Amino acid sequence: MKAVVAFDLDDTLYKEEDFVYSAYAAVADKLKCYGCDKDEVYETMQYAFESKSNPIDAVIKRFNQPLSESELVELYRKHKPEISLSGNVRNMLLRLKGLGFDLALITDGRFVTQYNKVRALGLTEYFSERAILISEVTGCDKTVPDNFLRVQRMYGNAGKFFYIGDNPAKDFLQPNLLGWVTICVKDDGRNIHSQSVRVPDSSLPRYIVNDISEIPQLVMEFIKN
């Protein structure tokens, strides 16, 4: 059976925390040019993040530097991230492609930020450019069905559609309503968004896996049955 396996990006294919810390390093490196101690800037932002406070505000309050809040936010959002796919994720994507499945990426966020992640992670090796859907580009986020419908139209001959994500608050409702098979990758303790949020049954994933490496086998078992 022809099938499409679509993925969320942040905290599904890589840990978003890695992007956050990469951004802090970029801000710290920039502020070094203005006489700030690079390590102190990084540690200030890291502490603020772990304390659930605003890292940009923490920098502005502590350091004498010329950049405005908006300029620091832009630096955060547009930096070239130092992030990479784990071996498990690479092998999983290669396995799916080897089995003949089409792959898609459906992610919310700003184009520059999300596409910088895509490039840093080397995802165009696994996903065609047309199948990488970013909400700022399409004009629709995952609270509406549009991007999932785009994937359905793109691969109209597919018999099954799967969506793999991590956040019950927004990842699974729309694909559930469209009859997709939804799969949640269990938080290993590092996810930005909690999976303990209370949501209606319609927003719950159909399956939960402990590790993303389980995806190819689960997809194959579902198709065979």
CATH number for position 166:
3.40.50.1000
Amino acid 213: pLDDT? 97
Among 78, 94, 122, which residue terminates a domain? 78
Asked if residue 225 has pLDDT above 90, the reply is no
Residue 124 sits in the same domain as residue 216: yes
Residue 18 CB contacts under 8 Å (≥ 6 apart), including other chains: 81, 82, 83
Q: What integer is the mean pLDDT of 173-194?
A: 96
pLDDT digits (tens, 9 = 90+) for 94-152: 999 999 999 999 999 999 999 999 999 999 999 999 999 999 999 999 999 999 999 99
Among 28, 46, 78, which residue terminates a domain? 78
Amino acid 14: pLDDT? 98
Amino acid 1: pLDDT? 75
Amino acid 69: pLDDT? 97
Residue 109 sits in the same domain as residue 210: yes
| Cα 81 to Cα 101: distance, rounded to the nearest angstrom | 29
Among 28, 43, 78, which residue terminates a domain? 78
Provide the pLDDT confidence category of residue 76 given band limits of 50, 70 and 90: very high
Amino acid 81: pLDDT? 98
Domain of residue 104 covers: 3-15+85-224
Amino acid 182: pLDDT? 98
For the residues of the chain, what is the DSSP string, one character each?
--EEEEE--BTTTB-HHHHHHHHHHHHHHHHHTTT--HHHHHHHHHHHHHTTS-HHHHHHHH---S--HHHHHHHHHHS-------HHHHHHHHHHHHTT-EEEEEE-S-HHHHHHHHHHHTGGGTS-GGGEEEHHHHT--TTSSHHHHHHHHHTTT-SEEEEEES-TTTSSHHHHHTT-EEEEEPP-S--SS-S-----GGGS-SEEESSGGGHHHHHHHHHH-
pLDDT averaged over every residue in the chain: 96
Domain count, the chain: 2
Amino acid 223: pLDDT? 87
pTM over 0.85: yes
Per-residue burial over 191-225, b if 16 or more Cβ lie within 10 Å, else e, is: bebebeeeeeeebebeeebeebbbbbeebeebbee
